[in-house]
Structure 1
Amino acid sequence: MHAQRSNDLRPAPGPRDAGKRLPGALRTVSGTLRSPGPVDMSGTPVQLGLDELGTPLSDVTFVVVDLETTGGSSKDSGITEIGAVKVRGGEVIGEFQSLVNPGVPVPAFIARLTGITTLMVASAPGIELVLPSFLEFARGAVLVAHNAPFDISFLKAAARRMDLAWPGNQVLDTVPLARRVVTRDEAPNHKLGTLAALFRATVTPDHRALSDARATVDVMHALFDRMAPLGITHLEDLATATDPVPDDIRKRRHLADDMPSGPGVYMFVGPADEVLYVGTSKNVRTRVRSYFTAAEKRSRMTEMIRLAVSVRAVPCATDLEARVRELRLITEHAPRYNRRSKHPERMHWVRLSAEAYPRLTVVRDGAAGPGEAVVGPFVSRSRATEAVEALQSAHQVRQCTKKLPAVPSASASACVLAEMGRCSAPCVRPEARPATAPADDYADVVAGLARSMAHDPSPVVTALARRIAEHVEQQRFEDAGTDRDRLEAFLAGASRAQRLAPVVASPQIVAARPTETAGWEIVVVRYGRLATTAVCKHGQDPLAAVASAVAVAEHVVPPTSAGPACHPEETDLVVAWLRSPGVRLVETDLPLTCPVSGAEKYVVGRSTAEVVSAAG
C-alpha cells in the first residue's frame, strides 16, 4: 500500500498601552494566564476559533475595532478612520490606527461629530492600502466591536470592492452581551459612552476610532467580569451568552472538564450509576460541552442533563470505532434518553418457510440455510409485512398459514385467492383447481419468488409499477400510495440483504483507508462484525500495522442465521466504510460483490417515482 501526498505587514504595537495589563476580567475568569498559548506542529502560535469549544478567554486573542465613516450605510458611504486594539490574557499586545481617504468629501455633520475633516483625510491612504494591513493585524483573532454589524459591514463591503477574500474571523458584538448583564436600573441604554461611564473606563469615547476601540476594550473586560459568575468563562460561552441557558445547566458544565478532544463515545450517567444517554463525536470534549450551552435546545436533553451526575468517555482510534462502540453501548444499556435504542431482537426478516409448500413469513432471527433467500432486516414488523405484500403482488405464492401436506387431500378445496388467480393452489389436486388459478407448478412459483428476493427484483418492480399506474389513472391515489410504500419496503429490505450478504459470509476482511495526515486507517471485519481498528501513522510500515491489527482482532463465532455476528446496523456502518472513497482491500476470503440486476440497481440514486416510471 502507498499513499500520495499532496510578506508580514503586522503593525507595531502602539506606544500608549503596549504591554499594559488591563482590568482583571480575564485573570478573574480563568485564574492563571497561559502563555504563549496553543501552537501548531511546527511550534508556530495559532489562534483558536469560536467553533473550537473549551478555550478559556485568557487564551483568546481579541482585536477590538472601531470605524469612523462618512455615513450610516456601507452601500453609499466610505471609511474615514480605522482604530483597533489587540488584547490577549488581559494585556494589550498591539494597536492599529490609520486615517482613510474615503474618496468623497466628509459631510459637515460628520466632521462636527468626529472632528475628521475632508482636509485631514485628503492626504491619507485609500482603503485599498489600509484594509490589507488591518486584516493582517487581525489575522487569526476574534474581532470585537460595539454594534459589530455596523463596523463589520463596512469592512466586508470594502473587501468586496477590492475583490479581496474576507478571512472569516469570528465576530463578537458587545452590545448583546451588555444587554444580558446590564439592567435598565444601572444604565438607561447600552451605548458605548454610557457603558464606559458605568464601568469607569480608562478612556472616554470621543467618536475617534482608536479612542472608541480602547474604551470598548475596558467595556468588554468589565462585561467578562460580570458574566464569569454565570459560568461564561470560555470562548464558546460567548457564542451563546445572549441566548442563555438555565443557570443550573450552565453550572454543571464541569462534568465535561476531563473529556478527551479526539473521537470517541460519551455516556451521561445518572445517580444510580445508570447510563442515561450514549453519544459519539469526532471531538468528544467539544460535543459534551455543547450540552451545557444554549446550542442544546431539546427538552429531553435538558431533563437528562439535570439528572446526570457524571460523564464517561471512551476514546477511540477512529470515527468508525466510535460509531460502532456507540451502537454496542446503546444495545447493552438501552438508555432511556436515546430516542431509538437499537435492539437486534426487534429486527425482522422476510424468508420462505421450510415446508413442503413454502410461504413467505416474517421472522426475528433471520435463520436461513446456505443459498436460501431472505430479505431484510427491517426495523419494524409492519415494514416487513409491506415487503411480503409486494412479493405476493408479483408471485402467486400461497398466503394461508396452515401447514399443507405433501400430497393434497382428495376433499381439499381451493381458497378464494386461487379463484381470483392470485394463488397457485398447492393445497388441492391439479384436477380440483379452479380454472382461474395460475397453471404454474408451485415449485416454479417458489423458484421465481426466491430469485426476486435474492437476485432479480424486476418482476416485483414491474407488477407494482403497473398497479400504481392503474391506480393513478383511476384517481385512486391512496391505493397508489399503499403500493408505493410496499415497493419501497421491499427494495430497501432486498438491497440491504444483498449489500450485507457478502460481508456477513466473509470470515475475514482487512481493509485500509488513507487518513488526512498521510497515514492509514486499518479495519478488520469478521462475519460482518468489526473485530478491530487501528491507525498507522505516516512513516510507519502499513503492512506491519495490518499484521498487528489482525493478530489482536476479536475472535468472532460464525453466525447461525442470515444475519451478521452482530447488530445489523453495525454491519451497515462497516459496509458504508468499505464503500467510502479511497478504501483498499488488503485481504478478503470471498469477493465483495452484489448482483448486477439486484435491488440496489433500483435504489441507488433513484427515487421510487423514477423506478416506477422506468418500469412502466
Structure 2
Amino acid sequence: MSDRGRNLPAVAEAAREMFHQETLDALFDDARARSLFATTFVVVDLETTGGAPDGGGITEIGAVKIRGGEELGEFATLVNPGERIPPYITVLTGITEAMVLPAPRIDSVLPAFLEFARDAVLVAHNAPYDTGFLKAACAAHGYPWPKPLVLDTAALARRVLTRDEVPNNKLATLARWLGGNARQPCHRALDDARATVDVLHALIGRLSGHRVHTLGDALEFVKAVSPTQRRKKHLAENLPNTPGVYVFRDGKDRPLYVGTSSAIATRVRSYFTASEKRARINTEMLAAAERVEAIECAHSLEAEVRELRLIAAHKPPYNRRSKFPERVVWLKLTAEAYPRLSVVRTLTGDGGSYLGPFASRRHAELAAAGVHEALPLRQCTLRLSTRRTTVACALAELGRCPAPCEHRISPEEYTASAAEPFREATTGNPSEVVRRLLDRMRSLSEGRRYEDAAAVRGRLVAFLKASVRMQRLASLTALSQVVAARPGAAGGWELAVIRHGRLAAAGASPPRVHPRPALDALLATAETVRPGPGPVPCASPEETERVLAWLERPETRLVEVDGGWASPVDGAGRWRELLATAEAAMGGITHLGL
C-alpha cells in the first residue's frame, strides 16, 4: 500500500474533526446571537472534598435548567468520591462518608449530567472551580468534554454591581442583597444552584441598562470589553468567513490596519472581545475605524501576499511589521579593478555581487565585518585607479589589507584572493569564509579573549544567516515559472502560479472537478513578471519567503517547473546546524531580523 493509502484513515479522522469543529462554531455563533430570554441555562453547583480538580473528588452535583425565567427541571445526586471526606468539609457541607458510601461513582453520574446539560449554557458561581472539576472527571473517565459556553455569575456581578450595593460578590452576600423571597445557599449543591438561579435572574435584569441583550453580549460584557469595542462591534457584521484580507478604514476611507485570516468574520469579531489585548488597537484604532473591508482570497497564500502588498502600499499607522520593504539593504561587492564592500539599497546590473537582503545598515555592517575578518578585501571607500597610486592606510601597515592603493597586488591577484572567494561564499560554497572565522574564534578563545571571540561569532552568524537566506531566495527567483497545487481544506485544490519568486496568480478548483481547467485559466491571466538583477527583484523578500514556505509544505504538489529548482550542493545550507548552534550559544540573534 502506498503512503497516501496509509494516511487515508488519518485524513478522514482530521476531516471529521474539522467538520465537528465547524459545526460547533456554527452552533456557538447561533447561541451567541440568541436573546438571554430565549437561552437555555443549566445552573450547576458542586460539593467536593476540597483541593484542586486533579486532587479532589466530587461529593454532590446539583443543577437547575431554566429558560425565559421558568425552571424546566432539576438534577441532584450525591457522588461517592472514592476517598475520605476531610472533617472540615463535613462541618461545612453536612455531607458525611456514610451519606456518600451508597451513592454512585462519578463515572456513572457523568453521562446523565452531560445529557441533562446538553445544548445548554452552563452557569455557575465562580465557574472555573466547578467546570474544572467536571473537566477533570471527564478526562479521567474517558468522556469528551462538550466545551459548552459558560457564564460566571460571580464575574457578572463584579461588572454589574458596585461596592456601594454589595461589599463582596460571594453567593451568600448576593442572595442577601436580593432579599425578599430569594433562596439562600447552604453549601448543599442543589440549594446553592437554586440560589444561583435567583442571582442570575436579578443580574440579567440589570444588563439591559448596559445594552446587553444577547448571550454573546453577556459573555463579552463579563470579560470587561471596552465601551469602544461594544460601540463599534457592528463593524464585524456581514463579513464573509472565508480566507482573505481585512482592512480597517477610517471616516476618510484611509487604511488604519491590514490583517489576514483563514476566516475573516471570526478574526474581525475577535477585535471586539476581551481577547484583544493591544492597547493601541483596542482604543485608538477601533475608535477611528468606521468600516471594515473584506477582500476574499482563494487560499491562505494569496491572503498573506495581498496583506504584505497592501501594508507596503498604504503603510497603515497601526501595522508594525512589513511596512517598509524598501528599507532593506544589501552588501555589494563593487564592480571595479579592486572591488570593495558597500552597503546599498538598490540592486543594479552593473556587474556587482550582492549579499542580503538585510533589515538595516547595522545588520549589513555586522556581516561585512565578518567578511573583512576572513578575506583581504580593502576597507577604504576610495575608487582606486590601476594607473595612479595613493598612500596606504594603517590597515596595510598592520597586514590586514594587501594595499592595492599602492599596487602591491595586481588586480588579478586581488580578485583571486579576495573578490572571488566572496562571490563563491555568497552564491555557492561559503566554507572558506566560515572556516577562517572559526579559526579566528578558536585562536581568540585559546588566548582567553572570550569577548573578542564572541564578537567574531556574531559576525559569522550574521554572514552565514544572510548567505543561507539569499541562496534559498535565489533558487526560487531564478525560475521563470512554478505551478503548484495543495489540497483544499474543504476539498478541491488550492492553485498558485509563481514567477521569479512573485505570486503571479492564485485560484482554487472546486471539489470533485479536475483542476486542469481552473489551472489553465490562471496561467492565461497570470501577471507577467520580468527577471531582475538580484535574488528578489520581483517581489519583497518577505513575499518570496511566504511563497517558499507554502511550496515547502509536505502536502504541496509541484505541477510544472520551468527549469531546475535546486540549491548548491555545497552551499550555505550545509552550515545550518553550525548556524543553529552558534545562535543558541549567543542566546539567538533573531532580534537582528536577518
Same fold (TM over 0.5): yes
1:71-101 per-residue CA deviation (whole Å, 9 max, x = no partner) reads 6776886544322244578776765333434
Q: Which of 405, 408, 412 pairs up with 1:427?
A: 405
Q: Secondary structure at the match of 1:540?
A: coil
CA distance in 1, matches of 2:472, 2:21: 47
Instruction: Return 279-288 or 449-458, whichever deviates more.
Output: 279-288
Instruction: For 1:565, give the aligned amino acid.
Output: C
Structure 2 distance, partners of 1:161, 1:222, is 36
Q: CA deviation at 1:228?
A: 4.9
Q: Tell me which residue corresponds to 2:361.
A: 381
Question: Compared with structure 1, are the counterparts of its residues 254 and 332 closer, same or farther at alpha carbon in structure 2 (3 Å cutoff)?
Answer: same
Letter aligned with residue 421 of structure 1: G
SS at match of 1:64: strand
Shift of 1:487: 1.8
- Cα deviation 1:436-469 (Å, max 9, x = unaligned): x999443443222210111111222222223333
Q: 1:229 to 1:287 in 2, by over 3 A?
A: farther
CA drift at 1:369? 6.6
Cα 1:206–1:479 change in 2 (3 A) is closer
Distance in 2 of aligned mates of 1:440 and 1:611: 38
Instruction: State the distance in 1 between where 2:21 and 2:127 align.
Output: 33
Paired amino acid for 2:289: A
Residues 165-221 of structure 1, C-alpha deviations (whole Å, 9 max, x = no match)? 655555432112112212233334433354356558987255453454344344334
What's the secondary structure of 2:406's corresponding residue?
Answer: coil
Q: Measured at CA, do residues 160 and 344 of structure 1 come closer, stay the same or move farther in structure 2, by a change above 3 Å?
A: closer
For the pair 1:316 / 2:294, whether they are aligned, the reply is no
Letter in 1 for 2:33: P
Matched, 1:459 2:440: no
Q: Using a 3 Å threshold, how does the CA distance of structure 1 residues 259 and 477 change in structure 2: closer, same or farther?
A: farther
CA shift in 2, pair 1:489/1:75, >3 Å: closer
Structure 1 Cα separation of the partners of residues 343 and 88 of structure 2:
82
Instruction: Give 1:96-175 correspondences, 5 Å limit.
Output: 96-102=75-81, 123-138=102-117, 142-156=121-135, 158-159=137-138, 162=141, 166=145, 169=148, 171-175=150-154
Q: Is the 8 A contact 1:529 1:564 kept in 2?
A: no
Partner Cα separation in structure 2 for residue 77 and residue 398 of structure 1 = 73
Is the 1:49–1:170 Cα contact (8 Å) retained in structure 2?
no
- Stretch deviating more after TM superposition (581-590 or 288-297): 288-297
User: Which amino acid is 2:461 matched to?
Assistant: E
Choose the corresponding residue for 1:276, options 224, 238, 256: 256
Distance 2:67 2:299 in 1: 35
**In structure 2, distance between residues paired with 1:490 and 1:512:** 34
Written as runs of structure 1 = structure 2, the 5 A alignment for 1:330-345 is 330-345=311-326
Measure how far apart 1:62 and its partner are: 4.3
Find the counterpart in structure 2 of residue 253 from structure 1: 233
1:134-173, Cα deviation, whole Å (9 max, x unpaired): 2344456543211224433443454466465655555432
Amino acid corresponding to residue 465 of structure 1 in structure 2: L
Residue of structure 2 in register with 1:209 after alignment:
189
Instruction: Show the counterpart of 2:334.
Output: 353
Question: Match for 2:394: what amino acid?
Answer: V
1:530-584 C-alpha deviation (Å, 9 max, x unpaired):
1122223331212333223222322323335442312221111101111122111
Q: Give, in whole Å, the separation in 2 of the partners of 1:385 and 1:490.
A: 10
For the 8 Å contact 2:247–2:256, the answer to whether it is kept is: yes
Residue in 1 aligned with 2:468? 495
Query: Post-superposition shift, 1:104?
Result: 7.2
Q: What corresponds to 2:279 in structure 1?
A: 299
Relative contact order (alpha carbons < 8 A, sep ≥ 6): 1 or 2 greater? Answer: 1
> For residue 45 of structure 2, what is the aligned residue in structure 1?
66
Deviations 1:574-596 (A, max 9, x none): 01111122111100112221122
2:548 counterpart (550, 567, 575)? 575
- Tell me the alpha carbon deviations over residues 495-553 of structure 1, each in whole angstroms, 9 at most, x when there is no partner: 12111112212221111122333432211111211112222333121233322322232
**Aligned runs of 1:12-27 on 2, under 5 Å?**
none
Residue 42 to residue 593, structure 1, CA distance change in 2 (3 Å): closer
Match of 1:536 in 2: 509
Please give the alpha-carbon distance, in whole angstroms, between the structure 2 residues aligned to 1:216 and 1:334. 51
Q: Is the 8 A contact 2:376 2:417 kept in 1?
A: no
Please name the residue that 1:289 is paired with.
269
Secondary structure of the residue aligned to 1:293 is coil
Q: 1:243 to 1:596 in 2, by over 3 A?
A: same
Contact 1:417/1:423 (CA < 8 Å) preserved in 2?
yes
Match of 2:32 in 1: 55
CA contact (8 A) 1:48 1:55 kept: no
What is the deviation of 1:256? 1.8
Amino acid in the other structure paired with 1:183: T
* SS of 1:250 mapped into structure 2: helix
Q: Which moved more, 1:487-496 or 1:419-428?
A: 419-428
1:364 aligns with 2:345: yes
The answer (yes or no) to whether the contact 2:63–2:74 under 8 Å persists in 1 is: yes
The alignment's TM-score, normalised by the length of structure 2, stands at 0.83
State the 1:264 CA deviation. 1.9
State the shift of 1:107 in Å: 8.9
Q: Which residue of 1 aligns with 2:589?
A: none
Kindly report the root-mean-square deviation, in angstroms, between the aligned alpha carbons of the 2 structures. Answer: 3.9
2: CA distance between counterparts of 1:399 and 1:53? 68
State the shift of 1:325 in Å.
0.9
In structure 2, distance between residues paired with 1:60 and 1:47: 17
Aligned mates of 1:303, 1:552 — CA distance in 2: 41
Correspondence 1:468-487 to 2 at 5 A: 468-487=441-460
Which segment drifts farther, 252-261 or 222-231?
222-231
Q: Does 1:418 align with 2:396?
A: yes
Which is worse superposed, 220-229 or 266-275? 220-229
SS at match of 2:257: strand
Distance 2:437 2:279 in 1: 43
Residues 464, 90 of structure 1: alpha-carbon distance in 2 compared, 3 angstrom cutoff:
farther
> Shift of residue 364 of structure 1?
1.4
> Given that residues 205 and 215 in structure 1 are in contact (C-alpha distance below 8 angstroms), is that contact kept between their aligned partners in structure 2?
yes
Aligned twin of 1:18: none
Q: Quick one: distance in 2 between partners of 1:575 and 1:121? A: 62
Q: Aligned match of 2:156 in 174, 177, 180?
A: 177
Which amino acid in structure 2 is aligned with residue 266 of structure 1?
Y
| Residue aligned with 2:484, SS | strand
Q: Which residue of 1 aligns with 2:422?
A: 449
Structure-1-length-normalised TM-score: 0.80
Alignment partner, residue 401 of structure 1: 381
> CA contact under 8 A between 1:278 and 1:329: conserved in structure 2?
yes
Contact 1:527–1:556 (8 Å) recurs in 2: yes
Q: Can you give the 5+ residue segments of structure 1 that lack an aligned partner in the other structure?
A: 7-39
Alignment CA distance shift 1:354-1:212 (3 Å): same
Secondary structure of 1:98 counterpart? strand
Residue aligned with 1:55, SS:
helix
- CA–CA distance in structure 2, aligned partners of residues 457 and 54 of structure 1: 60
SS in 2 for 1:427: helix
Distance 1:71 1:457, change over 3 A: closer
- 1:230–1:250: 8 Å Cα contact kept in structure 2? no
Alpha-carbon shift at residue 326 of structure 1 (Å): 1.0
| Cα distance in 2 for residues equivalent to 1:180 and 1:572 | 46
Alpha-carbon shift at residue 402 of structure 1 (Å): 2.1
Once the two structures are overlaid, the 10-residue window that deviates more, 319-328 or 421-430, is: 421-430
Q: Tell whether the 8 Å contact from 1:534 to 1:549 is kept in structure 2 after alignment.
A: yes
